[in-house]
């Protein structure tokens, strides 16, 4: 299914008068709105190929219907989403869940939907049918070189698929670790992992980056071999200039100060990728901004401040991706909500009065500093974000239009009620 342009146009026309009133009000209250709108238009977030189906937990999975049955249908879903909000113009593939069968036709489809191939993701956390060695006790860290080699070869194969598609980065997330004290020699596990990563690093094309993603716990519950940003940064530094740390919002221990982490990683020039989601307890993979919107804003505030300090391009110099699992909501609706939350936080972080904040910091004026941040966070940026969508031919209200057009009902008609997407 595709959404015809005239339907988006009609939807926008019906809402235009009310939108005009709101945007005029915002423009009169907020400085530099043209610059902000342009930045919002440029900002694109990748959608992972595993986020289009219903997610599940180890207790169960409740399929919602009309799930994409193959890579082409997943791309079609992202195309739908992108046509509604014009902010999800990239796809991130997980191999082997989504191995492209026909490169030329997959590329043509991507071009048709206006999508680019973002970071490739390898998978050595599951055993695949016919695989020689098991990853039960780890992959790149494994005590047996043959297992490590298999995992290295897999990552190199993922790079090859990425090269075919025009991707320029590899994200390595490892489930490696241990479940019980004594199970692992921490130093050996680290060294094995480092050596394995070095072999993968050596296979990277010149223009590629490798992102080392960390996670504090799960599926291993005693230790994780890339468990936090310190460990990830150690690997990234030892690997070389093409290696970066990837921050996934759900991969920290409770109450970690993620905004401080991203600030320092940016300072070191070692923040490479970012996975958006939200959580209350752990790696919950909930809709972005649904639980802790202020934290999301504070993180964006540091991202923008840190990128500005380094003269980085907000859109292209970091790999932005949503990494969420949709267990009870329609995945496409959930993704529309996530992108909206990202754009709102990004927009709010762009209006922080940085000069005044720096002055307050220099004067130890704690109250003023807090006021400056909260002023930005409490500013309603919805009309500005909608205006950016309008100018790039998206819908003023993507979620409302998604429902009006009965997109899910149509997908169920096309694909059936019982389809299951590959993924977790």
Strands 56-57 and 46-48, how do they pair? unpaired
Q: Which of ligand RM4, Mn ion, none does residue 121 bind (CB under 5 to 8 Å by kind)?
A: ligand RM4
Residue 118 touches which of ligand RM4, Mn ion, none (CB < 5 to 8 A by kind)? Answer: none
User: Which DSSP symbol is given to 211?
Assistant: E
Residue 27 binds which entry of ligand RM4, Mn ion, none, CB below 5-8 Å type-dependent? none
**Adjacent-strand bridge partners of 245:** 212, 271
284 touches Mn ion (CB under 5 A): no
Smallest separation, CB 51 to ligand RM4 (Å): 9
Return the exposure string of 286-300: e unless at least 16 CB atoms fall within 10 Å of the residue's CB, then b.
bbbbbebbebbbbbb
**Residue number closest to ligand RM4, CB atom:** 173
Q: 328, 287 in Cβ contact below 8 A?
A: no
Q: How many C-beta atoms lie closer than 10 Å to residue 366's C-beta?
A: 10
Shortest reach from residue 61's CB to Mn ion, in Å: 17
Which residue, 253, 319, 246, 327, is CA-closest to 285? 327
Could you give the dihedral angle defined by the CA atoms of residues 62, 66, 70 and 71, in that order, rounded to the nearest 10 degrees? -100
270's contact among Mn ion, ligand RM4, none, with CB below 5 to 8 A by partner kind, is: none
Site for Mn ion (CB under 5 A): which residue of 275, 314, 326, 389? Answer: 275
| Contact of residue 11 among Mn ion, ligand RM4, none (CB under 5-8 Å per partner type) | none
Nearer to ligand RM4, 278 or 283 (CB): 283
Where do contacts with ligand RM4 occur on this chain (CB under 6 A)? 50, 121, 173, 213, 215, 248, 275, 283, 323, 424
Q: What is residue 381's three-state secondary structure?
A: coil
The two tokens of residue 250 are 């759900």
- Site membership for Mn ion, residue 270 (CB under 5 A): no
Closer to ligand RM4 by Cβ: residue 178 or 397: 178
Q: Which is nearer to Mn ion, 137 or 217 (CB)?
A: 217
Minimum distance from residue 180 beta carbon to ligand RM4 (Å): 21
State the nearest-atom distance from the C-beta of 254 to ligand RM4, in Å: 16
Cβ at position 275, least distance to ligand RM4 in Å: 6
State the nearest-atom distance from the C-beta of 169 to ligand RM4, in Å.
Answer: 13
3-class secondary structure per residue, 76-93: HHHHHHHHHHCCCCEEEC
Check binding of 283 to Mn ion (CB under 5 A). Answer: yes
Q: Which is nearer to ligand RM4, 283 or 387 (CB)?
A: 283
Strands 116-117 and 223-224: unpaired
β-strands 60-61, 56-57 pairing:
antiparallel
Question: CB of residue 246 vs Mn ion: minimum separation in angstroms?
Answer: 7
For residue 115, which of 91, 139, 150 has the smallest C-alpha distance? Answer: 91
* Per-residue tokens: 232: 């990830």
Task: Report the residue number, 95 or 381, with the smaller CB distance to ligand RM4.
Answer: 95
Cβ proximity to ligand RM4: between 303 and 324 the closer is 324
- Contacts to Mn ion from residues 232-251, by CB under 5 A: 248
Q: Are strands 90-92 and 116-117 parallel, antiparallel or unpaired?
A: parallel
Residue 122: name the closest of 81, 83, 167 by CA.
167
Number of residues that this document lists for the chain: 424
Under rule CB under 5 A, which residues in 303-332 are in contact with Mn ion? 323
> Which parts of this chain interact with Mn ion (CB under 5 A)?
248, 275, 283, 323
């Amino acid at each position: 299914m595709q959404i015809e342009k005239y339907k988006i146009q009609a939807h926008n026309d019906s809402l235009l008068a009310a939108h005009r009133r709101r945007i005029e009000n915002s423009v009169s209250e907020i400085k530099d709105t043209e610059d902000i709108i342009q930045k919002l238009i440029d900002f694109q977030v990748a959608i992972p190929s595993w986020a289009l189906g219903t997610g599940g937990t180890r207790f169960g999975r409740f399929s919602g219907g009309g799930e994409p049955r193959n890579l082409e249908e997943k791309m079609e879903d992202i195309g739908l989403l992108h046509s509604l909000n014009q902010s999800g113009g990239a796809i991130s593939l997980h191999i082997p869940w989504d191995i492209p069968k026909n490169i030329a036709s997959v590329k043509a489809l991507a071009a048709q939907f206006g999508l680019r191939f973002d970071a490739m993701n390898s998978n050595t956390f599951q055993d695949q049918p016919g695989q020689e060695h098991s990853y039960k006790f780890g992959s790149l860290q494994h005590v047996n070189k043959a297992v490590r080699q298999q995992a290295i070869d897999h990552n190199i194969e993922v790079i090859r698929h990425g090269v075919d598609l025009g991707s320029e980065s590899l994200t390595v997330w490892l489930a490696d670790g241990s479940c019980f004290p004594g199970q692992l020699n921490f130093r050996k596990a680290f060294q094995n992992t480092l050596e394995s990563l070095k072999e993968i690093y050596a296979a990277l094309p010149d223009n590629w980056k490798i992102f080392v993603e960390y996670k504090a716990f799960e599926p291993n519950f005693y230790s994780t071999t890339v468990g936090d940003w310190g460990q990830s940064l150690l690997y990234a530094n030892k690997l070389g200039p093409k290696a970066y740390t990837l921050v996934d919002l759900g991969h920290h221990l409770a109450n970690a100060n993620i905004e401080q982490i991203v600030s320092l990683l940016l300072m070191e020039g070692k923040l490479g990728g970012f996975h958006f989601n939200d959580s209350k307890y752990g790696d919950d993979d909930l809709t972005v901004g649904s639980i802790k919107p202020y934290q999301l804003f504070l993180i964006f505030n540091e991202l923008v401040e840190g990128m500005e300090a380094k003269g980085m391009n907000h859109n292209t110099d970091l790999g932005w991706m949503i990494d969420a699992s949709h267990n009870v909501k329609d995945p496409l609706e959930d993704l529309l909500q996530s992108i909206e939350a990202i754009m709102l936080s990004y927009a709010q972080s762009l209006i922080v009065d940085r000069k005044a904040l720096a002055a307050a910091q220099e004067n130890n004026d704690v109250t003023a500093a807090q006021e400056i941040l909260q002023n930005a966070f409490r500013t309603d940026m919805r009309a500005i974000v909608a205006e950016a969508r309008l100018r790039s031919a998206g819908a003023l209200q993507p979620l409302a239009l998604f429902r009006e057009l009965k997109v899910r009902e149509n997908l169920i008609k096309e694909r059936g009620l019982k389809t299951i997407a590959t993924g977790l």
